[in-house]
Structure 1
Amino acid sequence: MMTGKNTTSRRRPRWYRALTATLAVLAVLVAGGVLFANPTTGVADADGAQIVESGKTQWQYRDDNQQPADGWQTSAAVSDAAWKTASGSFGAKNGQIADLGGGMTPQVLLNQYINGADGDAIPVYYFRTTFDAKDIDAIQAITGEVAYDDAAIVAVNGHVVAEFDNHVKDGTDPIYGTTNYGGSNDSAPKTATFNFTDIASLGLKATGNVLSVELHNGRATSSDIYLDVKNVSFTYGKAADTVKDASLEIGATESARNFNWLGTSTNASFVEIAPAAGYKEGDAFPESGAEKVQALQSAATREGFMSNKATVSGLAANTAYVYRVGNDDAWSDPAVFTTGNFGSGASFSFLFAGDPQIGASGNSDADQAGWQATLTNAVNKLTPNFMVSAGDQINDKGAKEDGQYDSYFAPKELASLTQALTVGNHDNGSSRYSDYFNVPNVSSLGATSGTGTQSGDYWYVYNGVLFMDINSNDMNTGNHKAFMEQAIAANPNVNWKIVVFHHSVFSLANHYTDSDIQSRRNELPQVFSDLGIDVVLMGHDHYFTRTTMMEGANPVASETGADANQVVDPAKGQVLYLTADSASGSKYYKTNSAVVNAMPTWVAAQGQSNRPTITNVTVNGGKLTLDTYYTDSADLEKLDTFTIVHTDQNSGDNGTDNNGSDNNNGTDNNNGTGNNNGTDNGTGNNNGSDNNGANNGSNNGANNGNNNGTGNGTGNGTTTGNGAGATAKPSTSTGTKGGSLPQTGDLIAPAFIAAIAVVGVAVIAAALVLKNRDRQVR
């Protein structure tokens, strides 16, 4: 009988089985993505690991002197074959890869010239890469480092997160989104970092986010171009609570102040205020001697923030106060403000600032610097008691809005300078206006859709002067007339009546021929004359203009003979109008072509010098003077002056301290917990509902100070409302998550790799030993 080998029951040697098992485990780890991550899309881990790294991240880029189609900064994929792909630093020097200075040599050669060989340099290059984002609610910041030559603008999902030298050569005009040359034109690439914290504005999603860079060449004859995005990372975790954009604002009388701020804390928040005698900058806040006023709190439109409003009344005349806002989760830095003379007829001065409009130039940093310079120079030279804004605090609604408000509030002077705000057309239509500001005696009349309850017409009395600020975005003249009639009726014994609104009816630039301006010009002046208004202050047209005295829309030759800069005892119904130019220098308008050859007969003074200006208004009994200055130097060169004298009033120095005696019968609306809808006792108007929708009742909280009558002058008459009202609180994510897979294109941690390698080597060695023993046994 024939015999053969049994092939079905023989077991493999032990060394073979051990080696096979080891290789199988390693295969599973590799296939499962433990050792290597997907190399095509960046992934941010929850510890803040990079989503972009120099030399590893794959970039799509255009170096063909063509603007990409719309969506290149927002679409997860682009289909145009003109996009090239590479990783590394990018650049060229005289058409070659070479050191551009500082050891910066590009890894990827860019096409440097429009015609491909030499001649004019390509002005703009476009770069994009995509990334995923995990645990978006826990992201606190996006940070990065960029080396560039000559200008770079970094965006996430189309929202700018960093701008480096975003300006034309030797100028300030922005170049982002244009095909213009511009930037630093330095001899070597520059390196800069950024830290962007307004994460909510980026519209992050789990996958398909776009990081883009627009790179500009300095000039057509530029010898080099360079970009190296060294790293971009997310920072995760719950950030410490913060207070932003604290605003010291006008109260119903000279002895009151309103306060507004944004904060991330949802706990009860306060104004703490104390006399500042002995307090020096840098000292600890004198908490033990401070009055504490709880704020009305509601959810702000700005993601993760609450809007807080409070009122302090019963302040003493000629007294310095130190204050802070917030709570023990986060307090603002202490700041000091000083009250002035109190009482009807007592002298005071205020600044009138035309359209700061941060962002109007396209470069918010430059606009902020101009705004800062104006306030620094004006406050140092003129020492005003408060400031009135003509409106258009910011330029853009939407993604840029909060950043522009941050820039508006950035000047340190605003922590000590009381403000009175006006709704401009660029502020209008966004509820953020009501989140950021807190005005007294606000009416539902004049309020505009989407702008919130703070957008209504409002009034206040300061030392016997009635100020009425109307929202001219509301084109209903009847509303404004009714409001002013009620405010005047509530304050019959004032010495002067001043109206403030945004849309100038007597100006000479771009808006002079606008149909809506013509409509206002046809209606409002007669109302002002009928109501006995003395002065009207306006903005909007970014061009300084002062009228003659006006009766309705008709000029009157009322300036006294030898002095055309003064009028004495103008007839009832005669009104002076002044339109302010830009206070920040963010935007100027030229003379309208319709008037360039023949000025209207109502023009007394006008000019456009493309220089920032501000007007200082001094009221001293029966004498009111408006001095307008250029603010681009500390000396404040004077542009114009005009004085109105009422001889039936004492026009001498009425600096008497009346210790808070007020002729104002109105109330502050935002003076405590509960609802922001307090009834205006002076006008009898319903002040509308809270724009945040959290509190729907009227604020009938008792006033515990002396807000509605004679101030006690001691600083102790603080008031809090006791209205009930629910407070809306946003949901927040806290904590830091970990345990994510490694980022794109990277090996996992070297220690883990080493551990795997050691285990593998050990198992293989053991298998060889077993193999040798098997041989010996056989």
Structure 2
Amino acid sequence: MKYTLFTILALSGCLYGQAQDRISPFEYEKQTGYTGKNIQGLSYSEDSFNFVVLGDFGRVGDYYQRDVAREMGHATVALDAEFILSVGDNFYPDGVQSTRDYHWISSFEAIYTDPNLYRPWYVALGNHDYRGNVQAQIDYSAVSRRWNMPDRYYKKTFELENGKKLLLLVMDTNPFIKSYHKNPEKYDGIVAQDTAAQLRWLEQELANNDPSIGWKMVVGHHPLYSGGVRKESKDTKQFEQQFADLFDKYRVDAYICGHEHDLQIIKPAGRFTTQYLSGAGSEVRQSGEREGTIFAATEPGFLTFSIVNNQLIVQVVKANADGGTVLYQHFSSK
């Protein structure tokens, strides 16, 4: 009888532990005292690798920045995200002057205050960042535990649950925009950047044939394609001409960008690489469609990325004063 009772108790304890393991990260945090809210429609998958993508955000909390920041915190909890990715234009209108610029407080530290946003931020440079001191953003990596910008362009490799790796290449796309070179006073140091060296680095990293690399993603500020206000921009078309074939050649799974102040997913016919645009971190401008548009929205918000074995799930999150809502889910498989 004692053995039977012990067996029942042990089994019930095991089942309880399994039940605890099965609850979502958000439910767990709520049990332990987290006061945030969940996002309507946001899906979490067990054994997934997750991150949140933000762009074009630093406006002293104005426009929609505080709403987006609040919902980013909720998404990071709900997905147990590994990191936050910024695609640039981190400070408007003219970057930062130094690591002690008050913009760091007013547009970053005092805005992204959810405790779960104190995870690594991997940060790219936008054109507005070039209007200030780019080196100050690099140097801030030594000031903040969460801000990571080791150089103007860099790579990160992440271990996934299934033993594969995610290769993340963060570009500095600004020197490749030819129109910026006509105004070197506005874009400090743009002319001095060695685009040939960066291109060699990019191609060398993309050519890595390590069989453990399951996913290749490139991050940059400027889009290859847009259905928004820069749809017919010469800068956009030239950037596409420089990089679309290269990304297809090396089978880049995702190109992640901003610059347009909206939310877009685009994959033109015949292309391998899908572009994910997350530029609605504060200000919002009119979006639209073009050939290959999968989704487009004129809404404030961000994207979440989840890798589960051989599937990528991208969720488009709208954020406003009423809370957060998933507008669209995009699935792709290897």
Partner of 1:418: 120
Distance 2:307 2:96 in 1: 41
Aligned to 1:574: 272
Q: 2:250 aligns with which of 526, 531, 536?
A: 531
Identify the residue that residue 462 of structure 1 maps to in structure 2.
158
Aligned residue number for residue 433 of structure 1: 137
Distance apart, 1:454 and its partner CA: 4.0
2:92 to 395, 402, 414: 395
Distance 1:626 1:416, change over 3 A: same
**Unaligned stretches of 5+ residues in structure 1:** 1-345, 439-452, 557-572, 647-778
The amino acid of 2:90's aligned partner reads Q
Q: Aligned runs of 1:302-317 on 2, under 5 Å?
A: none
Decide whether the 8 Å contact of 2:305 with 2:313 is kept in 1: yes
1:408 — aligned with what? Answer: 108
The range that moved more, 475-484 or 501-510, is: 475-484
TM-score w.r.t. the length of structure 1 is 0.30
Structure 2 vs 1, CA of residues 483 and 603 (structure 1 numbering), >3 Å: closer, same or farther?
A: same
Equivalent residue, structure 1, for 2:50 = 349
* 1:354 positional shift: 2.1
For residue 305 of structure 2, give the secondary structure of its aligned residue in structure 1. strand
In 1, the alpha carbon distance for the partners of 2:152 and 2:302 equals 25
Contact 1:378/1:631 (<8 A) preserved = no
Residue 619 of structure 1 corresponds to 307
Deviations 1:266-322 (A, max 9, x none): xxxxxxxxxxxxxxxxxxxxxxxxxxxxxxxxxxxxxxxxxxxxxxxxxxxxxxxxx
Q: Say whether the 8 Å CA contact 1:349–1:617 is kept in structure 2.
A: yes
- What is the CA distance between 1:399 and its match in structure 2? 7.7
Q: In the superposition, relative to structure 1, how do residues 547 and 368 fare at CA in structure 2: closer, same or farther (>3 Å)? A: closer
Matched residue count: 252
Cα distance in 1 between the residues matched to 2:265 and 2:252:
16
1:546 aligns with one of 265, 268, 274: 265
Give the direction of change, closer, same or farther, for the CA distance of 1:488–1:590 in structure 2 (3 Å limit): closer
What is the alpha-carbon distance in structure 2 between the residues aligned to residue 543 and residue 636 of structure 1? 16
Cα distance change, pair 530–428 in 1 and its aligned pair in 2 (3 A): same
Between the aligned partners of 2:129 and 2:204, the Cα distance in structure 1 is 26
Bigger radius of gyration among the two: 1
Q: Evaluate the alpha carbon distance shift between residue 437 and residue 514 of structure 1 in structure 2; reply closer, same or farther with a 3 A threshold.
A: farther
Counterpart AA for 2:246: V
> Secondary structure of the residue that 1:432 maps to in structure 2?
helix
Counterpart secondary structure, 2:56: coil
Paired position in structure 1 for 2:201? 483
Alignment-mate amino acid for residue 532 of structure 1 = R
Distance in 1, matches of 2:171 and 2:97, equals: 26
Structure 2 match to 1:643? 331
Q: CA contact under 8 A between 1:352 and 1:616: conserved in structure 2?
A: yes
Aligned to 1:522: 241
The superposition leaves residues 209-253 of structure 1 with CA deviations (integer Å, 9 ceiling, x where unpaired) of xxxxxxxxxxxxxxxxxxxxxxxxxxxxxxxxxxxxxxxxxxxxx
Instruction: State the 1:543 CA deviation.
Output: 1.6
Are the aligned partners of 1:356 and 1:582 in contact in 2 as well (CA < 8 Å)? yes
Q: Is the 8 A contact 1:468 1:499 kept in 2?
A: yes
Q: Shift of residue 353 of structure 1?
A: 1.0
Is the 1:387–1:417 Cα contact (8 Å) retained in structure 2?
A: yes
The secondary structure found in structure 2 opposite 1:636 is strand
Separation (CA, whole Å) in 2 of partners of 1:516 and 1:349: 32
| Preserved contact between residue 433 and residue 455 of structure 1 (Cα < 8 Å) | no
| 2:283 equivalent in structure 1 | 587
**Larger fraction in strand:** 1
**1:638-660, Cα deviation, whole Å (9 max, x unpaired):** 112111112xxxxxxxxxxxxxx
TM-score normalised to structure 2 length: 0.67
- The answer (yes or no) to whether the contact 2:207–2:250 under 8 Å persists in 1 is no
Q: Which segment is superposed worse, 529-538 or 470-479?
A: 470-479
Displacement of 1:373 in angstroms is: 1.8
Superposition pairs for residues 104-143 of structure 1, below 5 Å?
Answer: none
Distance 2:310 2:151 in 1: 32
Matches of 1:366 and 1:540, distance apart in 2:
16
Alpha-carbon distance, 1:620 to partner: 1.2
More helix by share: 2
Post-superposition shift, 1:542?
0.7
What is the rounded CA distance, in whole Å, between the counterparts of 2:332 and 2:310 in structure 1? 8
- CA shift in 2, pair 1:459/1:495, >3 Å: same
Query: Matched residues in 1 for 2:125 and 2:205: separation?
Result: 19
Structure 1 residue 512: deviation in Å? 2.7
1 CA distance for matches of 2:296 and 2:166?
Answer: 27
Alpha carbon RMSD of aligned pairs, Å?
2.7
SS at match of 1:396: coil
Correspondence list, 1:31-46, <5 A: none
Query: What residue is the counterpart of 2:295 in the other structure?
Result: 605
1:731-746 mapped onto 2 (5 Å cutoff): none
CA distance change for structure 1 residues 456 and 376 in 2, over 3 Å: closer, same or farther?
closer
Identity %: 19
